[in-house]
Structures are given as structure tokens and as C-alpha cells.
């Protein structure tokens, strides 16, 4: 692992009006690491992921990604850096009335010219790449299906196939298994783990399942009310820690 962090948050605060969603976050993530963000609903996991990919600017503090301070970048440079990050959002951000292939091909958009992207909407390009990605997530037969005809879990897999096609350095996944059954959850987590392990990609993912967090990530960051309660190797996360993380009130 290199000594330079791929992400660094320095004294980050995120306020929404007067509500402190994240408070004094200091965090370094290194290339190739697999980090799970865990914590109750509202703890700040999605907010943290949005800060990492630069779609949200911190109220205070600095977010560095791939060696750059994201709030200091001109928008073209920011988009270039964002092209190295594949995000799977909790709300999947798929275009419902398009066929699956177009949503998967959106993974190319950072690289394709406007013209190529426009042509592909009429005559889909790189069909084989899209088919392979859909095969990896287990739904190759859905290539030409309308996206809004798929089940929630199938749509989640389309969002993952899009990231496979994008082939980024970093994968940010916000609850990637929230609408999947246990078997599929395991398959998707295995896929994310192998993309990281074989492809050397950094993975930061929020998860509600502590079991999957500990079985598929090396490092667990526990967030509680916008603060980091613990940041530990998965093997050191004890039941007491988890109990403290989810305990109501104090």
C-alpha cells in the first residue's frame, strides 16, 4: 500500500442549516483499502460518501481526494477526478424509462464524446462490455429491458454494472445491498471485494449489516451522531463496540 492517502478529511464539519450532520471528522483512507461505514440511520454515512466524491462541499475543513483539495478545484478538474470514482447511490440514480444497456453504458460517459454518447442512445455501442458487466452481476438477460420494469434488487445490480463499466480507481457504494436478499447480498459483496482485491480498487461502502462489513472489509468506521465513534480493523470490532454504536441516547 502506498503511503499517500487516496482520501483525507481534515477537520471536516458538515452543517445542514443549523443541524450538524458531521462534526470534526479526521480520516485517512489508503489506496486499495476496503472501508465500511456503519452506524444508525442519520449517523452521517451518506453525507460522508458525498463529501468524498465532491458532490458536497464541507461547511468547514478540507476534503482531499487523489492528492487534490476538492474545494479548490475548477469544475473541469473536479469532474476529471470524479471520473476516477464510481459511486453507487442509495437512491440509485438510474434513468427509469431507458433500457438497461443505456444505464450501464452511462459508465462510459466520462470518456465518451457527446456525439458518441448521443449515437449510442439510438444504436447502443459496446454491447459486449455491457453484457459482460451484467453477467458479472447475474442479470445478462436484462440488457434490453426497460429499467423501471426491474425489481429493486435488479436495479441495484444495474447500478453496480455501470460502475464495472466505468472501471474507476475508487468505488463508493452507499448501502449497495439494501434491497437484496441474503444470497444476492453475498454475491454483490463478493463482487465488490473482488473488484477491490483483484483490481486494486479502493472501496468505501456504507452498510447496515455488521456481518458483511466485517467479512468483506478490512476496516470499519463507526459513525454516531456525525462523529467517528471508532475506526478499527474488522477483526477488532467487538460486540461491545457495536452495542455502543447503536445504543439509543447516552
41 binds ligand ATP (CB under 6 A): yes
Q: Does 87 bind ligand ATP (CB under 6 A)?
A: no
Query: How far apart are the C-alpha atoms of 150 and 130, rounded to whole Å?
Result: 17
> Which CB atom, from 46 or from 156, has the smaller least distance to Mg ion?
46
Q: With contacts defined by CB under 6 A, name the span among 25-33, 45-53, 80-88, 232-240 that binds ligand ATP.
A: 45-53
> Considering beta carbons, is residue 44 or 86 the nearer one to ligand ATP?
44
Taking the complex as a whole, the smallest distance from the CB of residue 43 to ligand ATP amounts, in Å, to: 4
Q: Tell me, rounded to whole angstroms, the distance of Cα 246 from its chain centroid.
A: 23
Nearer to Mg ion, 45 or 216 (CB): 45
Please, which residues bridge with residue 133 across strands? none
Grid cell, residue 240, equals 461491545
Instruction: Name the minimum Å distance from CB 179 to ligand ATP.
Output: 13
Q: Would you tell me how many other CB atoms lie within 10 Å of the CB of residue 239?
A: 8
**Residues 10-29: x where in contact with ligand ATP by CB under 6 A, - otherwise, as a string:** ------x--x-x--------
Beta carbons within 8 Å of 164's beta carbon, 6+ residues apart? 107, 133, 136, 137, 195
28-57 residues near Mg ion, rule: CB under 5 A? 45-46
Nearest to 217 by CA among 230, 204, 227: 204
Q: Which helix (H) or strand (E) holds 229?
A: strand 227-233
- Residues 68 and 73: their CA atoms lie apart, in Å, by 8
Least distance to Mg ion, CB of residue 97, Å: 26
Chain contacts with ligand ATP (rule: CB under 6 A): 16, 19, 21, 39, 41-47, 90
Amino acid at each position: 500500500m502506498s503511503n499517500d492517502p487516496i482520501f483525507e478529511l481534515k477537520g471536516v464539519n458538515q452543517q445542514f442549516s443549523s443541524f450538524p450532520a458531521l462534526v470534526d471528522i479526521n480520516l485517512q483512507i489508503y489506496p486499495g483499502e476496503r472501508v465500511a461505514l456503519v452506524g444508525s440511520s442519520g449517523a452521517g454515512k451518506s453525507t460522508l460518501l458525498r463529501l468524498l466524491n465532491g458532490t458536497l462541499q464541507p461547511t468547514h475543513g478540507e476534503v482531499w481526494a487523489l492528492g487534490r483539495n476538492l474545494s479548490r478545484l475548477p469544475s473541469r478538474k473536479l469532474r476529471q477526478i470524479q471520473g476516477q470514482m464510481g459511486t453507487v447511490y442509495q437512491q440509485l440514480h438510474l434513468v427509469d424509462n431507458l433500457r438497461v444497456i443505456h444505464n450501464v453504458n452511462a459508465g462510459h460517459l466520462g470518456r465518451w464524446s457527446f456525439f458518441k454518447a448521443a449515437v449510442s442512445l439510438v444504436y447502443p455501442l459496446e454491447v459486449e462490455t455491457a453484457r459482460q458487466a451484467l453477467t458479472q452481476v447475474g442479470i445478462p438477460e436484462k440488457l434490453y429491458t426497460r429499467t423501471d420494469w426491474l425489481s429493486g434488487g435488479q436495479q441495484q445490480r444495474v447500478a453496480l454494472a455501470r460502475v464495472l463499466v466505468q472501471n474507476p480507481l475508487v468505488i463508493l457504494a452507499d448501502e449497495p445491498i439494501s434491497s437484496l436478499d441474503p444470497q444476492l447480498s453475498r454475491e454483490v459483496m463478493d463482487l465488490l471485494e473482488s473488484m477491490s482485491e483483484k483490481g486494486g480498487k479502493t472501496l468505501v461502502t456504507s452498510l447496515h449489516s455488521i456481518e458483511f462489513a466485517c467479512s468483506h472489509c478490512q476496516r470499519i468506521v463507526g459513525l454516531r451522531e456525525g462523529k467517528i465513534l471508532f475506526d478499527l480493523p474488522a477483526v477488532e470490532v467487538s460486540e461491545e463496540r457495536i452495542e455502543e454504536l447503536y445504543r439509543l441516547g447516552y
